[in-house]
Structure 1
Amino acid sequence: MATIKPFKALRPKREFAEQVSCVPYDVLTKAEARQYVAENQLSFLRVTRPKSDFPKGEVPPWNVVVEHAKANLRWFIEEGYLKRDKKDAIYIYRLSRKGQSQTGVVACLSLDEYEAGVIKKHENVRPEKVNDRAAHIVSLRAQTGLIFTAFRGTEEIERLIAEAVAGEPLYDYVAPEGVSQQVWRCTETTPFVEAFAGVPSIYIADGHHRIEGARLARLELHRQDHAPSPDAEYNFVMAAMFPADELRILPYNRVVRDLNGLTTEEFLERAAEHFVITEADTAEPSEHGEILTYVAGNWYDMRFRADHMAHRDPIHNLDVSILQDFLLAPVLGITDPTTSERIEFISGMRGTAELERLVDSGEAVAAFSLYATRMKDLLTVSDMGETMPPKSTWFEPKLKDGLLVHEI
C-alpha cells in the first residue's frame, strides 16, 4: 500500500509564481533553454537547467554546473522570490486546457516503496542521466521537480480533492502555452495519508530519471549523515499523483530519413506482408493497430493484420511495438531506434502537419502517425514488471517545475 508524506514546500511567493515556474528541464533544446533564461531571469530553469545560464559555447564540468544551480537557488531564496512553508502540507495541483483538466495530489513518496515495487516504473533509464540528477539533488539538498505519477482513483480521494479545491488557491494563472495552473495547500493531511494507504500501487508516468536520481542521491546523503533516520527527508521523493482516468497520453510519432534503399513501391510491398494497406484521406489513426504512413506526398492507412495481433502479449501488442517489429526493424533496418540517427521522434503536440512538413521539405522520407498508447496498457505493462518500448508515451500537459520544491 502507498505511503505518502506531507512536507514543507519551498515555493514562489504568489506574485512571482508565473515568472518563476517553468517547463521540465528535459523538454527543451539547449537553444530553447538559453532563450527562456535570457528573456526571463526569474525562470526556474536557472536552477533545473543551469547550463543555460552559462555563456554560449562554454562547457563547464558537471560539478561546476550543479554548484551554479545551488547558488542560483540560494539567490531565489535570499532575494525573496521563494519562501518556505512553516507547516507540513499536502498540495493539490490542477492543470486545465480546452475544457479538460487533471487534478492531482502532491506529497512525498517513500523511496523504500519504490525499491520494493509499490511505485511501479515502465521505462529504462540511462545511467549518465541518473548520475547527473543525483549530483544535482545532492548539491542543492533539494528535489526541484515533480515525479509525474498515476494511481487508480478512489471515491474517498476524489472527495478529499473536491473539498480541498473549494478553497482559494495559492496559485491560479494561465501559462504561455494556454494551460491553467492552480495549486491549493492542505494542512489537514491525515485524511489524505489514510486514503492513500488503501491505494495498492503508484505508477510513474513521467520522471523515471528523476526518481532514480533521488534514489541514488539518498545513498550518498545517508553516507554523509552522522545520525541517519528513516524519517529523513532524503528517504522520500516529491511526486504529483493523478487519477489514471484523468490523464491524457498523446501519440509519439516517428519520421525516418530514408527507406533503406527501397523505392516507395517496394516499401509498400514489403509492408503489405503484415498490414492491409489502403490510400487514406486522414492523417490520424482511429483505433489500435492502425498506422497512418505519409510517404511520397500521400497518406496510407496500414492496418495490422488481425491474425497477427491475436497472438501477441501486451507489450508487443502496443502500436509502437507493432511499428518497430514489423516495419522499422525488418523493412527499414532500424533495429535500435534509441541510437539510430535515421529516425526522429515527434511529439503528438506538434500535430500531423509537422509530419507532412518534414517529409515534404526533404528532412525526412516517411512519417508514421501512431494511435496513442492507452493508459490501461501502461498500467498493465507496469503491473507485469516490464518496460515499455522507447518513446511510447507523451503526456500532456506537462507539470511545471518551480512551483513546489522539496528540500532534503
Structure 2
Amino acid sequence: MVKVHPFKGIRPTSALAAQVAALPYDVVNSQEAKELAVGNPYSYFHIDKAEIDLPEDISPYDEKVYQKAADNLADFLKAGWLFKEEQNYFYLYELVMNGRSQTGIVACTSIEDYIDEKIKKHEFTRHEKEIDRMNHIRTCDANTSPIFLSYRPKTEIQQIIKAWQQEYQPVYDFTSYHEVTHRVWVIDQGDTIEKLTKLFTEVEALYIADGHHRTESAVKIGLEKRENGEQNPETEQFLSIIFPEDELAIWEYNRVLKVAPPADFLEQLKENYSVTKSGVKKPKQAGDCQLYDGEAWYTLTIKAEKIPNDPVEKLDVALLQKYVFETIFDIQDIRTDKRIDFIGGIRGAAELEKLVDSGDFKLAFSMYPTQMKDLLAVADAKKIMPPKSTWFEPKLLSGLFLHDLETK
C-alpha cells in the first residue's frame, strides 16, 4: 500500500517544452552541459547545471552555483517560460525509443513510504553526491529532478492511462536526444485523480529504478524541514515518475579493463566458464558474456554449478566480478579501482572495440542486461546490487516537471 499525491506542477509552456527539456544532471558534465545549452536561454541546464553561467574555474559544488540555480529558476518563472499550476494534478509522461513505448504517472510520493521501505532501493549512495542535490533542492526550494520509480503492473491503472492517452491530446509532443519522442498529458479531472490515488493504495511497493541519490537527498531535505519547523504537506513528499516494470528496458552496462591479462588467461577462465571463440559481440542470454581482447570475440558461458541461488550473487555482473575481476585480476572494489571502467550499452559493441583497439584498454566485456525481475527480487530481499548493474534508456528529461516545497 503506497501513497501517491497530485501536485501543482511547475512546468514549461507548451511552446517552449522542447527547448527547456534537458538530459539529467548526472549524465553530462559541466562542459557538455554548457555546449548543449549554447544559444538556448531556455535550457534547463541553466537551472540543473547552473555553473555553466558562472566563470569556468568555479566548482560545480560552490554555494554560488546553487544560488545561481535558484536565481535562474526565479527568472524562468518571471519570464513565463515556466509556470506553476493553480490546482493539484497528475501527469502522464510517455517516452518512445526505437518504436518501444513506456508511460509513467508523474506524481509526488511519500517520505514516510520510503522510510517504511515501501519505496525500495537496490543501490548504495555516496554522501558527497547527496550533499550536492540537497544543496540544490534546499536553495531552489523545489524538487528539481524527478525520481524514476517502477511498480508491478496493475490492470486498472494501465486501463486508465491508456484511455486517457486515447481520449485527450498531449500538452507536449516533441523529439529530442537520441531521437526519443516525449509526450505529456495533464490529468486534470477530479474523479480520475481520485481513482488513481485509490488504486495506488492497492500497490504493495514502489521500486527505485534510477535516482537513488535524488531520493535520499529529497527525503533528507524533508526530514530537515521537519526539524526546522518548516514542515508542510509539500515537504512530506517528493517528485517521482512511476512506470510499470513490464514497460521498462534495462540496457547492458559493459566493462573494460586497463590491465593486461596473464598469459594463461583463457585457461583460467575455463575453470568457471566455457569459452568459445565465436565472433559474437552481444550476449543472447543470461549466463553469457562476450569478451574482446583486441583480436577476437569470445563467448563466456558460466558453468551451471557456479551459479548460486542468492538474488545478487547469481547476477551476471556479480559472477564476472567474482570469477574474473577478483580471482584473476585482484580487482576487489570496482567503485575505486582505476583499472576498470564502465560503458553504457547505448554506445554499442563498436565503442568497446574502439577502446581496446586504441590500446587504452586491454579487454572488454559485453554483458547481458540485468532484467527488471532481477532488480525487483534484489530490492524485495533488501539487498544491494553490484555497482553499475543497470543502465536505463531512454533517459527521463529534466525540466518538464518541478515540485515546489513552498517554504519560501
TM-score of the superposed pair, with normalisation by structure 2: 0.96
Other-structure match for 1:286 = 284
Other-structure match for 2:74 = 74
Amino acid at match of 2:57: G
Is the 1:120–1:204 Cα contact (8 Å) retained in structure 2?
Answer: yes
Shift of 1:33: 1.4
Amino acid at match of 2:274: V
- The secondary structure found in structure 2 opposite 1:42 is coil
Moved more, 46-55 or 85-94: 46-55
Aligned counterparts of 1:246 and 1:296: Cα–Cα separation in 2: 36
Is the 2:30–2:49 Cα contact (8 Å) retained in structure 1?
Answer: no
Deviation per CA, 1:319-364: give whole Å up to 9, x if none.
Answer: 1101100001110121111111111100000000100000001111
Other-structure match for 1:216 = 220
Shift of 1:62: 2.6
Paired residue total: 401
Aligned counterparts of 2:61 and 2:102: Cα–Cα separation in 1: 39
Amino acid at match of 1:314: P
- The secondary structure found in structure 2 opposite 1:138 is helix
Amino acid at match of 1:145: S
Amino acid at match of 2:350: A
Other-structure match for 1:342 = 339
- The secondary structure found in structure 2 opposite 1:15 is coil
Is the 1:138–1:220 Cα contact (8 Å) retained in structure 2?
Answer: no
Unpaired stretches in structure 2, ≥5 consecutive residues: none
Amino acid at match of 1:3: K
Residue 204 of structure 1 is aligned with which of 166, 187, 208? 208
Aligned counterparts of 1:69 and 1:339: Cα–Cα separation in 2: 31
Residue 266 of structure 2 is aligned with which of 262, 265, 268? 268
Moved more, 170-179 or 45-54: 45-54
Is the 2:153–2:244 Cα contact (8 Å) retained in structure 1?
Answer: yes
Other-structure match for 1:240 = 241
RMSD over aligned Cα atoms: 1.2
Shift of 1:225: 3.0
Deviation per CA, 1:239-272: give whole Å up to 9, x if none.
Answer: 1110100000000000001136x23xx2112111
Other-structure match for 2:10 = 10
Aligned counterparts of 1:163 and 1:123: Cα–Cα separation in 2: 35
Amino acid at match of 2:139: S
Deviation per CA, 1:116-169: give whole Å up to 9, x if none.
Answer: 000000000001111111111111110111100110111100111012212011
Unpaired stretches in structure 1, ≥5 consecutive residues: none
Is the 2:288–2:368 Cα contact (8 Å) retained in structure 1?
Answer: yes
Other-structure match for 1:104 = 104
Aligned counterparts of 2:64 and 2:255: Cα–Cα separation in 1: 36
Aligned counterparts of 1:206 and 1:272: Cα–Cα separation in 2: 35
Distance of aligned partners of 1:110 and 1:360 in 2 relative to their CA distance in 1, 3 Å threshold: same
Identity of aligned residues (%): 39
Is the 2:121–2:379 Cα contact (8 Å) retained in structure 1?
Answer: yes
